[in-house]
Structure 1
């Protein structure tokens, strides 16, 4: 395990976003205004789709409201339980070149509109992902050695308690987009 902080999440395809927002509002969650996020995902040279993501490093370059952030995630227990390091950068093009120089290659572009809310220790994200539709993510930042699967069970239990139609996904957006493109959706 790790002594650092891990981002652990669960993700769901959402049939009726308005019903989800109402259910969360009833629990005290107030969503932010929507923001547009333009993400370029990267994988380390030598990794390819079909291989396990556990233990591999992945990078992301995000632009939101004219600000750019660089993030490296390393899935630990599963794709949605990662050690994560993120920082703001000044130039997207320059950072893209640096990421390539570090031995990463671009995989998928993920463009989405995101609304967020905080509830207890959870960050709630309602995403409209271009080419995929509506998704709901619940993220928790966890320190210590608590197993990711246990945290994900707790987050899933919360999601199910909302009593709205949700279809759980264990894949990241880049994998979902790649799968959608391969079947022509």
Structure 2
């Protein structure tokens, strides 16, 4: 894994978006214009919700601004500390068919509106996720040998320093959307 990187993040349900936006602005984090992201998530054959995601490869096909991106993530320490590879693809439907041919199974479609900001080596994403709510993700890309949980502690400390009421979640968007759409 030498030379590889991992994306490490923390995620929070936002209770008051306006207060969060004001706090981020005071910190110097100016959010971008909103962009719509339409994601199809995929899982390895044999994996099912309720099983551990650690060490399992997951794929995503995203359309944003008329462009398509294929991503593979493999959770390391937990679901929010992942090895990640991403590339742009020309044809979403053909890539979908290729992912299916590789044996991956479609799981959940996630549609969200995202605004981003960069601050002190962090990327801050404010996401309005259809069926799940408004969330803020704070992430950093670090060497794969770094402790993802230690980085998450640093990111959590930053989130707490904002002075905004946030509810931390360790669920990924696919799990949150699935739970919202699954009858009790």
TM-score after normalising by structure 1: 0.97
**Take 1:181 and 1:34, find their aligned partners in 2: how far apart are those partners?**
24
- Give 1:69-148 correspondences, 5 Å limit: 69-148=69-148
Q: CA deviation at 1:177?
A: 1.0
**Take 1:3 and 1:148, find their aligned partners in 2: how far apart are those partners?**
15
Runs of 4+ in 1 over 2 A off after TM superposition: none
Determine helix, strand or coil for the equivalent of 2:76. strand
**Take 1:171 and 1:183, find their aligned partners in 2: how far apart are those partners?**
18
Q: CA deviation at 1:174?
A: 0.4
Q: CA deviation at 1:144?
A: 4.7
TM-score after normalising by structure 2: 0.97
Match of 1:52 in 2: 52
Determine helix, strand or coil for the equivalent of 1:177. helix
Q: CA deviation at 1:178?
A: 1.2
Post-superposition CA distance 1:55-104 (Å, at most 9, x none): 00000000001000000000011000000000000000000000001110
**Take 2:29 and 2:171, find their aligned partners in 1: how far apart are those partners?**
25
Change in Cα spacing, 1:181 to 1:166, as seen in structure 2 (3 Å) is same
Alignment pair present for 1:149 and 2:182: no
Q: CA deviation at 1:171?
A: 0.7
Change in Cα spacing, 1:65 to 1:145, as seen in structure 2 (3 Å) is same
Q: CA deviation at 1:18?
A: 1.2
- Give 1:28-43 correspondences, 5 Å limit: 28-43=28-43
Q: CA deviation at 1:2?
A: 5.7
Where structure 1 has 5 or more consecutive residues not aligned to the other structure, the ranges are none
**Take 1:176 and 1:2, find their aligned partners in 2: how far apart are those partners?**
33
Post-superposition CA distance 1:26-71 (Å, at most 9, x none): 0111110000000000001111111100000000000001000000
Where structure 2 has 5 or more consecutive residues not aligned to the other structure, the ranges are none
**Take 1:7 and 1:141, find their aligned partners in 2: how far apart are those partners?**
5
CA RMSD, aligned part only?
1.1
